[in-house]
Amino acid sequence: MSAKRKFTNIVSYIVLILISIIWLFPFFGILMTSFRSYKDYGGLTNYVIPKHFSLDNYKFLFSNKTKFLQWYGNTLIIAIFVTLLQTLVVVCVAYILSRMRFKLRNLLMRTWLILGMFPGFLTMICMYFLLKQFGLTQSGAIPGLILVYVASSGMGYYVCKGFFDTIPKSLDEAAIIDGATRSQVMFKVILPLSKPIIIYTALTAFMAPWCDYIFASYIAFGHESSYNVAVAMTRWVWTNDYQGYFTRFCAGGVLIAVPVTLLFMALQRYYVEGVTGGAVKG
């Protein structure tokens, strides 16, 4: 290897290491703050590593002094149902648009593309009053949020359809010649070859409700038992005891990050394959 190439590699590694440190520092600060007792809080800017490590914040989260476990359970229930239903809807819509040709197909795809450019929160007021008519706000916010997240999920078919387009249609034709129905072609031929995009779709579906604050706070407004963790923990840092609850907020943030981190670490390979495979064709 030439001296110029070695110098370039060294500079590149140094830059990447510096960027990684800058990017990871806030997460490191949150982790360290979560182990600091709220009684020992001296301000985030005074020091990052606590003088005395403590599990007080985590004990508080699991105690009967807070509804954190209920909020965590609400978030988990919403995320699981949305993941299952949204993945099913997206895969079915993507398969139909990729494999079948019918009237107004192109018009439908263009319409969904245009509608997808508008932010979802533009319909928040109308959506709230509509859900309220069916009792799906406040005390009924959990099924209401599931309905909101799943209702328009079919419009997010782009990446999944792109992946299906890369699978040769000759496989479908061979299966049909052998007597397979459309549903059998989908479930026995296409889906076994589509593991990466299914995992990608499921991960993105899981992330949306897990991190959502705007819709969740709007639909569950004023009903504490229907909060998800994002809404409930935001209320913590709005209290007069900001310094005391900030350490507890950090502890809750660490617990929220654990499932997502584990999922991405375990399924990272499939996630990358799903994104790259779905980007080949549009």
Distance, CA of 171 to CA of 194 (rounded, Å):
13
> According to the model, what pLDDT value does residue 143 have?
93
Using alpha carbons, list the distances in angstroms from residue 68 to 34, 43, 60, 233, 257.
Answer: 15, 24, 9, 9, 15
- Select the more confidently predicted residue: 251 or 50: 251
pLDDT score for 17: 94
In this prediction, residue 234 has a pLDDT band, given cuts at 50, 70 and 90, of confident
Q: Is 112 exposed, middle or buried (0-12, 13-18, 19+ CB in 10 A)?
A: middle
Task: Give CA–CA dist 245/85, Å, rounded.
Answer: 36
In percent, the amount of the chain with pLDDT more than 90 equals 18
Cα(203)–Cα(197) distance, rounded to whole angstroms? 10
d(CA 3, CA 126): 64
Predicted TM-score (pTM) of the model is 0.83
User: pLDDT at position 279, please?
Assistant: 47
Q: Report whether pLDDT(281) > 60.
A: no
Q: Tens digit of pLDDT for each residue in 192-201?
A: 888 888 888 8
pLDDT of residue 40: 63
CA nearest neighbour of 226 among 108, 98, 70: 70
The residue among 270 and 74 whose pLDDT is bigger is 74
- Confidence at 65, pLDDT banded by 50, 70, 90: confident
In this prediction, residue 282 has a pLDDT band, given cuts at 50, 70 and 90, of very low
pLDDT digits 0-9 by tens, 80-95: 999 999 999 999 999 8
For 51, residues 6+ apart whose C-beta sits below 8 A from its C-beta are 40
Sign for the pseudo-dihedral over CA of 29, 32, 35, 39: negative
Task: Output the CA torsion 262→267→272→274 (10° steps).
Answer: -130
Beta strands in the chain (DSSP E): none
Residues 13 and 20: their CA atoms lie apart, in Å, by: 10
Whole-number mean pLDDT of the chain?
83
pLDDT in tens, 136-179: 988 889 999 999 889 878 888 888 888 888 888 888 888 888 88
CB 127 within 8 A of CB 57: no
Say yes or no to pLDDT of 77 above 90. Answer: yes
